[in-house]
Chain A
């Protein structure tokens, strides 16, 4: 293979193991596989600033994400749909939620949202985005 993916994957796995020590989680199972639910500090989450925070800064604040998604599909998605998204799972007195952080092509967070599992749908959940006109402003 023309990529050193094994080494990189192993390195990423080690970082996950290391981060898990700081990310005290429990396993919630639904139909076979697990999603990690942890405690995310609201104070630390508030420090993630759209338009400013980098991936490295987010990882330092919140740890390694539960999941990363990159919808880089047919090359035809609308602007920012294919930006990299980091997901964290959390639980507070209102129930379970996900923290959803989208990064632009410069690895800077441009959207941050704390989205309850039980309250969204056709009402949606408000998100913080980078200031309009900044390098990372959404165009949709």
Chain B
């Protein structure tokens, strides 16, 4: 099915035609990063004045803390995820079945399917029928160490189809589906694993890619090339970071059973040979031994996004919630930069130890630019959207041809309960049309009033920008998870003037983990949900995953939010 929300627009089509349209839409969805190299084309549906003067509905105030609040969205389905707190949801069209994978934060809960209390790992839920999701399987995470779950959890998940991976016949991946996940978060022996999820009800362990890690985080896996950008770090690798001790380990996972190491990579100042004790900021004292950003050594990496072979760019946020840096890289030069000859991107001056202990010059070879955030904001997400038409620039400017801009959506993560002890954390739109001089053009902000979000408990502020590419939404709307303020969606068709157009705040349930804080000597606990990530599937359903153990809610767009994604003729 193409999209239930488009049914009204295609009522005249017969069922066969609709089915064919749906198949095309799903095939297209699998062609975009990280599944393929294509990028959707965005058409302008705005008048010359853009968002100016639009008579949009005023955003309604949210309901009281213990009620659901919803605006221009509709709840289509729900699963409680066995009361496990979710970090990241990912929905994959797996041979016609829509499978939701959730990477869960650490802890333990009862798995009713087995009758066993299992360490939180990876949940697998069939959401083909969104109104009746079926929990298929839970792959446990790491066991507690000496009774503590501090090093446990399996927060991150990526899935590739074996038919999409290169050399499928040679490698024997044809017909299979593979799950890449972090196994553990921060401890002494974390790892990244591959599982065969061809039968999502009976996953099979395939391989450990790398173990002995002190940190893992949000990886990226290009399915059409097999290249995986693993976020990892270990005491033994010698790399240096402030905050989270993690950078990139890049592997070729074309054959998931036989991972091939390519190189490690990070920000200038993080390499093992960086002289942290004496290094000066590259911005004010450039040298062969400087560091990029506002802290020395630079903050750890959060999660890379590669836009694949066509765009040939990788976008990396560092810092999460403080001392952030956003980096734009030439993908070919990252992958081949330690080769002195041969493929595109190779570096004739690469050092002998480039793959594991690069010089500053090795790290600079693929770097196109880097943007330093102010110290009170970090780089959590950096998701690009290319060639967004600018409504007011469709005539008169430059050579009078219609103008568009490539944008980078950046967010910083709020980390404090009740806002206490930190600055507000927002999301921003950067114009990256000139890649060497990115420039902010707008802020995506949710005010604490109405809603009293700083008073309702848990975290309030931005977290993550949606990474899934669903063509009808691409360049039209953007979603950002905003913890206790829920899913937040903006109309970005006039990106200099983004307009809030929808939100969803989940009501707490008996499964909602309480959040406690001490302010001015008074400690209180609150029951509030926290939307951790919001993602799309290839039918346009929107998945709001709750960090506080309240499950995953499946949503669709209504009203003005739905109108924003329709062709101009249907608006």
Contact = CB atoms under 8 A, between A and B. Distances in A.
A132 B521 CA distance: 9
Contact of A140 (B151, B243, B508, B517): B517
B117 A12 contact: yes
A41 interface: no
Contacts of B413: 74, 76
Interface in A82-140: 82, 84-85, 87, 89, 96, 98, 100, 102, 105, 107, 111, 113, 115, 117-118, 120-122, 124-129, 132, 138, 140
A55 B147 CA distance: 9
A67 B523 contact: no
B208 A125 contact: no
Contacts of B240: none
Interface stretch (B27-35, B185-193, B325-333, B349-357): B185-193
B208 A78 contact: no
B513 A87 contact: yes
Interface residues of A, number: 65
A47 interface: no
Contacts of A35: 83, 510-511
A122 B107 CA distance: 26
A100 B525 contact: yes
B232 to A, nearest CB: 13
B245 to A, nearest CB: 8
B153 A113 contact: no
Contacts of A81: 415-417
A76 B322 contact: yes
Contact of A78 (B417, B510, B513, B522): B417
B516 A33 contact: no
Contacts of B106: 69-72
B143 A75 contact: no
A125 B148 CA distance: 27
A124 B183 CA distance: 35
A42 interface: no
Contacts of B335: none
B421 A140 contact: yes
Given A75-B215, A120-B514, A2 B119 contact: no
Contacts of B119: 5, 9, 12
Contacts of B416: 78, 81, 140
B463 to A, nearest CB: 10
Contacts of A72: 105-106, 149-153, 185-186
B78 interface: yes
10 contacts: A55-B147, A67-B549, A69-B513, A70-B153, A72-B106, A72-B152, A73-B185, A74-B217, A74-B244, A100-B525
Interface of B: 64-66, 78-83, 85, 87, 105-110, 112, 116-119, 135, 140-144, 147-153, 155, 183, 185-186, 189, 191, 193, 205, 208, 211-212, 215, 217, 243-245, 300, 302, 320-322, 378, 380, 413, 415-417, 420-422, 452, 455-457, 508-511, 513-514, 516-519, 521-528, 547, 549, 551
Given A68-B109, A81-B417, 13 more contacts: A32-B135, A33-B112, A35-B511, A74-B321, A75-B243, A84-B148, A115-B525, A120-B65, A121-B508, A124-B525, A126-B523, A127-B523, A129-B523
Q: Which 10 A-B pairs have the closest CB atoms?
A: A124-B524, A121-B65, A8-B143, A75-B244, A70-B106, A5-B143, A70-B149, A69-B107, A13-B116, A76-B320
